[in-house]
Chain A
Amino acid sequence: MTLNTSRRGFLKSAAATAAVLYVGARPDGAIAAANAEGAMLNPFVKISSDGTVTAIVKHFEKGQGPATGLTTLIAEELGIPIEDVAYEFAPSDAGAYNNLFLGPFQGTGGSTAMANSFMQYRRAGAAARDMLLQAAANAWGVDASTLSLDDGVIKGPGYEAPLADFVAAAAQIAPPAEPRLKDPSEFKLIGNEAVRRKDTPPKINGTATYAMDLHLDNQMIAVIARSPRMGGLVAGFDESDAKGIKDFIRAAELPNKAGVVVFAENTWAALQARAALAVDWDFSAAETRSSGEIRDQLLAAVNADPEYNVTDTDQAAIGAAIDKAATVLDETFYFPLLAHAPMEPLTCTIEATADGGVILHDGCQFPTGPHMALSQILQLPMEKVQINTLFAGGSFGRRATPTADYQVEAALAFAVTDRTRPVKLVWTREDDITGGYYRPAFAHRVRVGLDGSGNIIAWDHRIAGQSVMKGTAFEDFSVHHGIDHSSVEGTSDTLYTIPGHFVGLTDVAKATSVLWWRSVGHTHTAYVMESMIDMAAKAAGHDPVEFRLDLLAGGDTDQARIAGVLQLAAEKGGWGKAADGRTQGIAVHKSFGSYVAELVEVSGNAQDGVQIEKVTCAVDCGIAVNPDVIKAQMEGGIGYGLGHAMRNEITLTEGAVDQSNFPDYEPLRIGDIGAIEVHIVPSTEPPTGVGEPGTPPSAPALANAIAATGHRVTSLPMVNNGVSFS
């Protein structure tokens, strides 16, 4: 593996002298190629004269697997063993490396890495293969169609040579407009469970370099003292007590007054100096509310007429139908603020380059945003800002903020220096838990009317919360007619056939900075939908799986696929066959194009202690490129969903966050879930997301299993709402 993590390696690779064949795409999608002397093409694959193949991975690696996935696509089409393909993370170049689903924007999010890259990287690999074969055909005087490239060797009738022999010649050939893509029956790597992660070796021996691990010569560590209440500004500070701390350098107010930056020669000195700093805060513009008030406001909103009619249906008529129904269910749900708490606290480093520019070293999720932000703050043209993407120790959404929050902090800190020394901004866990950007709190109220035979006849669903997208650069992407789709996704577009379906939304005013959190709106909408469907099944006296299947019998593909995972999870998890003393709950949800069902089996009960014994998951995410990575993402998504539902919330007292570190934002632990089993539905559909879709069904499946013991939880976290866990 030749991942460039050192500064020297990065600069060398930027100069890129060794590789002679580059294949990438032009912004219009056409295949483009270049050779060593050639154009400044930022490629998807480069092949050196010695035959070394390197995949350039345009998505950052936070554990979700693109380093393996995109490399698999290149290796598959090129016809070489995946072990022989190195990878590098792409530089920041929104023209070459944009996310095809996000427009002119380079970034990783919305579980799109594989979905948007699948054809792009295959086409690049296939074009490189076609060019190598053509070069061999020219040399041997045969037709290229008689040649093949397998395991890195080009073969034809009477000929055989390693691909390295033809790299130089291939680099002189025009790329094919339409390279020949493999038929799925020819796949050796795509769909192969034996393919191992490319990033395992450095992550098990301590050599993987995360942004937190970067140590540049002469660097300064920067930590920031931020307002204890959200939105407070610096009124003044006194560093006298920090001056005696060895290796403390100095403190300075950030130009935007959001904090005081403390510089030191090392991290421990910086942390001690920050603790010794006395800062006066101006709280006049700060948040002063407590979580109770925010909660009251949300609950009031779902009991009033909503601001937006999301479904464009007749709310009054639907309400009237419910009033007359044989059975009425009426439930109110509440979801607290949540922190992402990725394992690696936020950090990045900015260093000056010899030509007057800067390099941002970062586990960079959305390069285009920080690229523009640094250019503005440091008053540099875009081409003078480079980004070196390093491994990221998790994200769950946190490393991608529309404001580029921590990169902006680093730039502001760098700007108050003379710019000669690299500045490494370090966040602690306390900074992370108290530092804003939470999954917004949401309330839902749902009224469902059933007729005398237990059929749903009308559904009135009101949602209130703070929009994640409004007022950000992503507003156009998600907000239409005032409605932020990410607040309601999973409700108005439910795959269940629901007659008389009304969904209303009320946006509440800003309480904190809020952010997408692994699966965004689905984190709360799936919980509500799948809890209500379960309650409706119970009210109707029907089996919850059968009841759902009846609502998914419309015959379209979407319903068939979601019914498929539901049936598979039920079958594999032994639905209805819980061991003595155990109960089961099931939930199913579509998000990010993928269909996931989860069956949770628990022992115990809410009062004496619940133990999650087993989770059985079925997923349909189209073609499963790396099945073992998909399983891992389901396992992780389930753990993330269950851990937070069980015991996490962020609360505020007069605008200050009450939690501060893992002891009061307790992570899921190894003993919390007995076992997880994942089953993948075979598919020939294009690949869809896997990073997020495992999360939404997990919490409602657990809630449904606990409800079967007699306790229905409609407010999270469960530990604060009547459930203990053993």
Chain B
Amino acid sequence: MAMTLKLNGTTRDVDAEPGTPLLWVIRDELKLTGTKFGCGVASCGACTVHLDGEPVRSCQTYVEDVEGAEITTIEGLNSDISAAVQQAWTELDVVQCGYCQSGQIMSAVGLLSETAKPTLEEIDLYMDGNACRCATYQRIRAAIQRASQIMEA
């Protein structure tokens, strides 16, 4: 089925069956592979993208439901907040294997868009659905707080 998606500030024509998770449209059809497949059941957050600025799990979001919405993937991040997050991630060398980190960053940007100065409890609550098997959690917390400082400056 032909559809038009608004993705990373452009429009993209795709051909996908209804019921196809947005994740596979992004990865296989649009070949944007920064958005990762980790579980397919909305329990790891590796596939997190923004839908009209809100983080969602693209593995449990169906392509026919997102026509018309603004979809942003890690490749399309382009804001003061995302720049602050990526700078903080670099300063603190958060990544290990890195496979979860697109999703972590998408969620972190979502959090800081809602709450510019989150407490540790707010960070833990918001980021709870983003698993990191390498357990980089200490640094994720610290980097979100650091990004918050960068945004303030």
Q: Which residues of A contact B (CB under 8 A)?
A: 61-65, 196-197, 199-210, 212-213, 215, 221, 246, 266-268, 341-345, 391-396, 428-429, 628-629, 632-633, 635-636, 638-640, 643, 661-663, 667-673, 675-676
Contact = CB atoms under 8 A, between A and B. Distances in A.
Contacts of A61: 97
B36 interface: yes
Given A215-B31, A670-B124, A206 B96 contact: no
B135 A638 contact: yes
Contact of B124 (A202, A209, A643, A671): A671
B132 interface: yes
Nearest to B95: A203
A209 B44 CA distance: 20
A640 B128 CA distance: 16
Contact of B135 (A203, A267, A639): A639
B46 A673 contact: no
Nearest to B105: A204
Given A206-B33, A212-B37, A342-B97, A266 B24 contact: yes
Contacts of A341: 133
Contacts of A221: 28
Nearest to A671: B124
Nearest to B87: A204
Interface residues of B, number: 56
A172 to B, nearest CB: 40
B74 A268 contact: no
A235 to B, nearest CB: 28
A268 B97 contact: no
A393 to B, nearest CB: 3
Interface string B7-30: 000000000010011001001110
B41 A663 contact: yes
A697 to B, nearest CB: 15
A670 B96 contact: no
Given A197-B95, A206-B32, A394-B97, A429 B75 contact: no
A200 B74 CA distance: 14
B49 to A, nearest CB: 11
Contacts of A671: 124-125, 128
Residue in A266, A268, A662 whose Cβ sees the most chain B Cβ within 10 Å: A268
Given A199-B95, A344-B99, A204 B44 contact: no
Q: Of residues B43, B98, B140, B141, which shows the largest number of chain A Cβ atoms within 10 Å of its Cβ?
A: B98
A670 B93 contact: no
A393 B98 contact: yes
A669 B128 contact: yes
A266 to B, nearest CB: 4
Interface string B109-153: 000000000000001110110111111111111000000000000
B50 to A, nearest CB: 13
Contacts of A343: 36, 38, 44, 46, 97, 99-100, 131-134
A670 B141 contact: yes
B4 interface: no
Interface string B67-108: 000000111010000000010011001111111111001000
A269 to B, nearest CB: 8
Contact of A268 (B28, B35, B138): B28
B59 to A, nearest CB: 10
B77 to A, nearest CB: 8
9 contacts: A200-B94, A204-B95, A206-B34, A209-B33, A343-B97, A343-B99, A394-B133, A429-B40, A635-B138
Given A267-B24, A343-B132, A667-B133, A63 B123 contact: no
Nearest to B132: A343
Given A429-B41, A667-B131, A267 B27 contact: yes
A508 to B, nearest CB: 29
Given A429-B38, A662-B41, 5 more contacts: A200-B94, A429-B44, A635-B139, A639-B134, A662-B44
B45 to A, nearest CB: 10
Contacts of A639: 134-135, 137
B27 A196 contact: no
B153 to A, nearest CB: 20
Contact of A215 (B33, B97, B102): B33
B89 A200 contact: yes
B84 to A, nearest CB: 12
A32 B124 CA distance: 52
A662 B101 CA distance: 17
Given A396-B133, A673-B137, A63 B96 contact: yes
Contact of A206 (B75, B134, B136): B75
B134 A636 contact: yes
Contacts of A215: 28, 31, 33
A290 to B, nearest CB: 25
Given A206-B35, A207-B34, A62 B44 contact: no
Contacts of B137: 639, 668-670, 672-673
Contacts of A632: 93, 96, 136, 139
A247 to B, nearest CB: 9
A420 to B, nearest CB: 20
Given A203-B101, A632-B136, A662-B41, A268 B21 contact: yes
B75 to A, nearest CB: 5
Nearest to B31: A215
A514 B53 CA distance: 44
Contacts of A661: 39-41, 43
Nearest to A202: B98
Nearest to B130: A670
A197 B139 CA distance: 14
Contacts of B90: 196, 200-201, 204
Most B CB atoms within 10 A — which of A342, A429, A672? Answer: A429
